[in-house]
Chain A
Amino acid sequence: MSLDNANPIVYQRSGARQISAADEDDTVIDEIDDREVYDLIRSINDPEHPLTLEELNVVEHANVHVDNKKNQVAISFTPTIPHCSMATLIGLSIRVKLLRSLPARFKVDVQISPGTHASEEAVNKQLADKERVAAALENSHLLKVVNECLSNHEN
């Protein structure tokens, strides 16, 4: 199979999060914030390349918005090219990662960064349809591909 984007630009990975004294203090209630959610998704593997979504600039810290009080997480991701056929799979991997990691109270919205994909509206609609997402995750082949994107063989 030919690659959608054979020579993607590779970006720098961000460093580990600075651990403050308050982070180690168990008496402080830590609210889930943008950086914490970004940390959950930045090491997701690209379906085509041996690179992470962060290294391909598909996900960025600035495109993660968490409202801990309203239980909302909104993420936009940027496909490497406007006709990327993997866009739905990447979005699904982000959804599944957060579904498994975040408390169930969170509503997660995953969308393509506006103007960065030819089928942006169709992909967004599919990712927002929880019934179709649930059906997709019962497909063992697809689930295997998603799990490969989520497997952590780098760190």
Chain B
Amino acid sequence: MPRLEEVTTLEGHIEPVWCVSWSPFGSLLATCSGDKTIRIWGKEGEKWICKTVLTDGHTRTVRYVTWSPCGQYLASASFDATVVIWSRKEGEFESIATLEGHENEVKAVTWSSSGSLIATCSRDKSVWIWEVTEDEEFECASVMTSHSQDVKHVIWHPYKEILASCSYDDTIKLYKEDNDDWTCFQTLASHDSTVWKICFDQSGSRLASCSDDKTVKIWQEYLPGNEEGIVTHGSDSVWKCVCTLSGYHERAVYDINWNHVTGHLVTACGDDSIRVFGEDADSNKNEPKFSLMTMINHAHSQDVNSVSWNPKIPNLLASCSDDNLVKLWRYVE
């Protein structure tokens, strides 16, 4: 039976930890917390240690951190309504820009696969797209106000310039560039409550979402002219909910992460547990079937807020919690 083995516990944050984020080459883990700091963890010999604490970027909770695709930049989103861009080109992390404009708490920030675009989202219901210029300037390219409530998360497609966002309004929205402006081309409605997180699989043709309604949903992309006969409009693809995982989670599901190597999905839940799901061998894309591979009850002593697979060591998992701790796990087949 597959299982999760604890590798180590990383102590240092003194308030709930909201997010764990691996660098693209998997050697560094960035975490952020209600203690207003960002910590960078790495291996020294066999031991995981805290390499750096970034303390002077934000005046309130740091909600989310993420790396640029090249691994040279880190972006942090805070309840202080700003996003800070950190550069580590000189070896040390240095803040090089503060993105201002959101009216209140910024909930997430994400880099496009090319590294030339950044998206941010906020409780002010808007999603912003920023262009990254060659001399490290960041210019707002678009402000989208399609959601009717607090926007919880934004994520770019793994290789196309397609953006996805999810919200307290229970929906997921997809955006593309159209005549020099950005527009929402599809709204995915099926969840019964707040959609906390969304993530793409490696191919970018599937999306997984997790919600306050205690379910996980899998959405499949259908391109124009698809053989299933799903009706599309113009050149836009259509996304349909093809699978709902219900009955597994006892409370809100706060994060979901798709392993781009093994295809396993991992979830972070308000019931303190971490669950790993795998797709069945006889699963088909129009009606996929996922099974619970393993779970850790009380992985943390409080809500699990975020989970992330290491991009280079596919069985290594990071998690963080309201219990102020960060943990590393090994998924053993």
User: Residues on A close to B: CB < 8 A?
Assistant: 104-105, 107, 125, 128-132, 134-135, 138
Contact = CB atoms under 8 A, between A and B. Distances in A.
A-B pairs with the 10 shortest C-beta distances? A135-B79, A135-B105, A138-B60, A104-B302, A138-B79, A134-B61, A138-B61, A105-B301, A134-B34, A129-B194
B123 interface: yes
Contacts of B270: 107, 130
A132 B301 contact: no
Contacts, number: 39
A131 B64 CA distance: 12
Interface in B56-79: 60-61, 63, 79
Contacts of A130: 270, 303, 322
B61 A135 contact: yes
B107 A131 contact: yes
Given A125-B194, A129-B168, A138-B61, A104 B123 contact: no
Interface of B: 16, 34, 60-61, 63, 79, 104-105, 107, 123, 150, 152, 168, 193-194, 212, 251-252, 270-271, 301-303, 322-323
17 contacts: A104-B302, A105-B302, A125-B168, A125-B193, A128-B252, A129-B168, A130-B303, A131-B63, A131-B107, A131-B152, A132-B123, A132-B150, A134-B34, A135-B60, A135-B61, A135-B105, A138-B60
A107 B251 contact: yes
Contacts of B79: 134-135, 138
A135 B301 contact: no
B174 to A, nearest CB: 23
A62 B123 CA distance: 36
Contacts of A128: 212, 252
A130 B16 CA distance: 11
Given A125-B194, A135-B104, 20 more contacts: A104-B302, A104-B323, A107-B270, A107-B271, A125-B193, A128-B212, A128-B252, A129-B168, A129-B212, A130-B322, A134-B16, A134-B34, A134-B61, A134-B79, A135-B60, A135-B105, A135-B123, A138-B60, A138-B61, A138-B79
A10 B139 CA distance: 58
A135 B79 CA distance: 7
Contacts of A132: 123, 150
A128 B168 CA distance: 12
Nearest to B194: A129
A94 B234 CA distance: 52
A107 B251 CA distance: 10
A105 B323 CA distance: 9
Contacts of B302: 104-105
A134 B301 CA distance: 18
A129 B149 CA distance: 13
A131 B301 CA distance: 18
Interface centre among A105, A131, A132 (most CB of B within 10 A): A131
A141 to B, nearest CB: 14
A128 to B, nearest CB: 7
Contacts of B252: 128
